[in-house]
Chains A and B, each alone.
Chain A
Amino acid sequence: MTRPTEESGHAVSAIETGGDSPLRIAGKEFASRLIVGTGKYRDDETMVRAIRASGAEMVTVAVRRVSLDRSREESILHQVSPEEFFILPNTAGCYTAEEAVRYARLGRAAGLNDWVKLEVIGDESTLLPDVQATIEAARVLVNEGFKVLAYTNDDLITALRLEDAGCVAVMPLASPIGSGLGLINPYYIREIKSRLEVTVIVDAGVGTASDACATMEQGVDGVLMNTAIAAAEDPVAMAHAMRLGVEAGRLAWRAGRMPRREVAVPSSPARGMLD
């Protein structure tokens, strides 16, 4: 069997599948709708290869104390160059609005950009967001000129408040951070996407490529993930799978799925059957 090629007409041509607008956040455009984290990789080389395989242009980083004995990790920017990737500092690990504001300011002071992935955690075991503190911190940061991409629950009202606060993207979770449980509530995610005007990116909870695909099929603008790639047995292969999953899901959403029916409808004509 020969592989379908464009000449044979079996494959969808670039012209047929193209025409999608890029991911737009705060006036900046990204060809990839996948954003990836840089945490939890077993080594730097695997991380860099995986990020490249994912096709992501934007990567998240965390702000932490420099270890003063000089024997430990150096800045992640030695591995992930700001020349090659757009660096999105996060406020991961912060439990209050004050902490998150402080971390965001430190991240901006690094001098790369004024973007921040705002994350205010409300509970240690589920890592679910403290939505009230998130809104509070978002207002402060927007006021200070930050481009705020806010991690939040899959709750429409909070998402609307974050949009009101001036966030450039609202990022509801698929399921808890690092859980890999996939998209738990597609209905709420669809609802958020349909009601918000700002960019909606699903952040956290994706476990494998089918989750990424199913998430994009809800019509959201993008997906952000870290553990699903970093904790895969082969992170580089999984990163590639995620890229394809995101692209497939996006394309499927744009294509418009067939309506669901509760009864079967034959695919072949009923007419022309033999007696």
Chain B
Amino acid sequence: MAAVLAVGTDSCDPPRPVIPRLHLITDDRVLARPDFPVRAAAALEAGRDRVTLHLRGPRHSGRDLWEVGTQLLAEVRKRSGTLLVNDRIDVAMALGADGVHLGMHSFLPVQARAMLVRDALIGLSAHAGDSGTKPNWHAEGPPEGVDFLIVGTLFSTESHPGRIGVGIEGLRTMIASARGVPVLGIGGVTPARVSDILAAGAHGVAVIRSVWDAEDSGAAVAELLGEYGWDAKASGAIAMSTGEQAAGEGGGEILLRVNGAERRAPEGLTVQGLLEQLELIPATVVVEHNLEILDRASYARVVLHDGDRLELVHFVGGG
């Protein structure tokens, strides 16, 4: 029985794959290239479990996407990476991919969640609104069921020349209204811009051209990952080290994981303080702090530290 007691899972919700910090996205043009399979293999080899490949080809048929996807998934699985399918939930299901990435005209995230397996990863694209910095989901925050957001366009790009980039400031605004859902930046991302994007609080970046149009896609991935400040071979506790780095730059900030979402907080914050920030009434909530359930009387005493994991739960309707 000791084994049962000792084992702590990250969360009692089904374990979700960690959201990699570098997302490689395809398009119709990239998929059509004869050297795409070779490039994809090279990019995956360089990124392994730190990259997510997005199979995206809006003008490809479902059957064609499935055929390309079958090969890609085999390559992804060999290297413990993840494969998401853009928009096409049916293709993701047929492939047994890790999840889907949805656009503004896709099914809603909750609908996708209902169709996919429990632990499917679900991303959503959120473009800057007309004002340039206002995200299209600004009123209520990201919709329910979303694991991460890809926001942009950060910097004007060749693929969307008419679109004005929201820049680092726009990214900050969007992260602030993402309510803790991890945000990745897209649009004109180059290795030189990665550190600024991460410093703004982004979870990572998503790229199309800077990998697929590079002379060597594998080298391009390695270069982008190099900008994250990781040892190229290191794996594992990546999330935490990047979090510490970003918080350090902010000054006096710590990075918490609250109910599965990253959340920045000032140093020295107590559990009581966190509940106040979240406008939760302590008497209605149970707090689990790094897998240990806290006594309500201790909320004011327990100081939170960088990397702490908190689960705030309550009773809901159930059978």
Binding site for B on A (CB under 8 A): 37-41, 47, 60-66, 68-77, 87, 89-90, 92-99, 101-103, 105-107, 109-111, 124, 136-137, 139-140, 143, 177-178, 204, 225-227
Which of B4-12, B102-110, B120-128, B148-156 forms part of the interface with chain A?
B4-12
Query: In the complex the two chains form, is B317's CB within 8 Å of A63's CB?
Result: no
Contacts of B4-42 to chain A: CB distance below 8 A: 4-5, 7-9, 12-14
Complex Cα gap A226–B318 (Å): 8
* Given known A-B contacts A68-B259, A69-B141, A105-B293, A61 and B318 have beta carbons under 8 A apart: yes
A85 to chain B, nearest CB (A): 12
Bound Cα distance from A231 to B153, whole angstroms: 45
> Would you call the interface of chain B mostly helix, strand, loop, or mixed?
loop
Are B315 and A39 interface neighbours, CB within 8 A? Answer: no
* B8 partner residues in chain A, CB cutoff 8 A: 98, 102
A41 neighbours in B (Cβ, 8 Å): 317
Measured in the bound complex, the distance between the Cα atoms of B85 and A36 in whole Å is 41
CB distance from A89 to the nearest CB of B (A): 7
Which of A68, A87, A92 is B261 in contact with, Cβ under 8 Å? Answer: A68
Verify B317–A61 contact, CB threshold 8 A. yes
Contact of A66 among B12, B285, B291, B293 (CB under 8 A): B285
Please measure, in the bound complex, the distance between the C-alpha atom of A177 and the C-alpha atom of B1, giving whole angstroms. 28
Query: At the interface, yes or no: B286 with Cβ under 8 Å from chain A?
Result: yes
The yes or no answer to B238 lying at the interface (CB within 8 A) is no
**CB-based contact B179/A97 at 8 Å:** no
Known contacts: A65-B260, A75-B284, A99-B9. The answer to whether A37 contacts B4 by CB under 8 A is no
Could you tell me if B311 and A65 are in contact, using CB atoms closer than 8 angstroms? yes
> What number of B residues sit within 8 Å (CB to CB) of A?
39
B303 CB, min distance to chain A CBs, angstroms? 20
A208 to B156, CA, bound (A): 61
Count the A-B residue pairs with Cβ separation under 8 angstroms: how many? Answer: 135
Given contacts A124-B118, A140-B5, contact A89 B315 (CB under 8 A): yes
Cα A226 to Cα B316 with chains together (Å): 14
| Contact for A69 among B14, B117, B140, B293, CB less than 8 A | B140
A66 touches B4 (CB 8 A): no
- B302 interface residue, CB < 8 Å from A? no
Q: A106-B313, A226-B319 are in contact. List 16 more A-B contacts (CB 8 A).
A: A39-B317, A39-B318, A39-B319, A61-B315, A61-B317, A61-B318, A62-B317, A63-B315, A65-B313, A66-B280, A66-B314, A71-B140, A73-B316, A93-B12, A97-B4, A99-B12
Q: Chain B residues near A99 (CB, 8 Å)? A: 9, 12
Residues of A within 8 A of B314 (CB): 63-64, 66, 74-77, 110
CB-CB under 8 A from A71, the residues of chain B are: 140-141
Do residues A109 and B286 form an inter-chain contact, with CB atoms below 8 A? yes
B278 sits at the interface (CB 8 A): yes
Measured in the bound complex, the distance between the Cα atoms of B318 and A177 in whole Å is: 12
In the bound complex, residues from chain A placing their C-beta under 8 Å from that of B286 are: 63, 106-107, 109-110
The 7 closest A-B pairs by CB, nearest first: A62-B318, A226-B319, A37-B319, A38-B317, A61-B315, A39-B317, A75-B314
- Bound CA span A99–B118, Å: 15
The complex places the Cα of A140 from the Cα of B3 at a distance, in Å, of 10
User: Closest B-chain residue to A204, C-beta based?
Assistant: B319
Question: What is the chain A residue whose CB lies nearest that of B275?
Answer: A66
The answer to whether B1 touches A140, judged by C-beta atoms less than 8 angstroms apart, is yes
Measured CA separation A110–B286 after assembly (Å): 6
Residues on B with C-beta less than 8 A from A39 are 316-319
